[in-house]
């Protein structure tokens, strides 16, 4: 069962990364409504991923690198950077979402987000996402790479 949970976790984080890319595309093309929907979807998939990942760990399913020694250092550098940035990504994403929510609540609708009462929240939202998006993409991509490497060179640790 843990192997299936692991596969679904990977699917959800891939979908989260895809939705994130669409969200960035939409906001750069000034489509606020599509941006908001894509980012809610990306955040939802990321949340599902986190629940599945923690469930998998709770079931004692883990893999460790058992591949070529020449790749070991590169693998662990990638893994450690992934873990550190994944840990940082949660508060970054929550800060970005919180400011977007507060801005939308103050504006009352998407067409009114330039209102002075909302502008401060959206400025903070933009400041947060300048860090959140690159970190989120890095974490997603490195997670996919780690999954592929462990699929080829991983051994299951029975916990």
What gap in Å lies between CA 88 and CA 43, rounded to an integer?
A: 15
What gap in Å lies between CA 103 and CA 116, rounded to an integer?
A: 10
Find out whether 64 and 157 touch, Cβ atoms under 8 Å: yes
> What is the mean pLDDT of each successive set of 10 residues along the chain, which is 159 residues long?
90 94 97 96 96 92 94 97 96 96 94 92 96 95 93 85
The number of distinct structural domains making up the chain is 1
CATH of the domain at 31: 1.20.120
Domain span at residue 136?
Answer: 2-158
Main-chain phi, psi angles of 156, to 5 degrees:
-75, 135
What's the predicted TM-score (pTM) here?
A: 0.89
CA atoms within 13 A on the CB side of 158: 0
Three-state SS for 61? strand
């Amino acid at each position: 069962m843990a192997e299936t949970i692991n596969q679904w976790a990977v699917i959800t984080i891939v979908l989260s990364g895809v939705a994130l890319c669409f969200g960035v595309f939409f906001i750069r093309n000034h489509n606020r409504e599509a941006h908001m929907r894509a980012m809610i979807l990306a955040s939802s998939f990321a949340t599902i991923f986190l629940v599945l990942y923690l469930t998998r760990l709770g079931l004692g399913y883990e893999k460790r690198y058992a591949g070529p020694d020449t790749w070991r250092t590169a693998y662990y550098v990638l893994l450690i950077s992934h873990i550190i940035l994944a840990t940082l990504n949660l508060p970054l994403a929550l800060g970005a979402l919180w400011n977007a929510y507060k801005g939308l609540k103050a504006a009352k609708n998407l067409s009114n987000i330039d209102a002075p009462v909302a502008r401060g929240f959206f400025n903070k939202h933009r400041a947060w996402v300048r860090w959140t998006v690159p970190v989120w993409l890095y974490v997603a991509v490195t997670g996919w790479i780690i999954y592929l490497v462990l699929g080829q060179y991983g051994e299951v640790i029975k916990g």
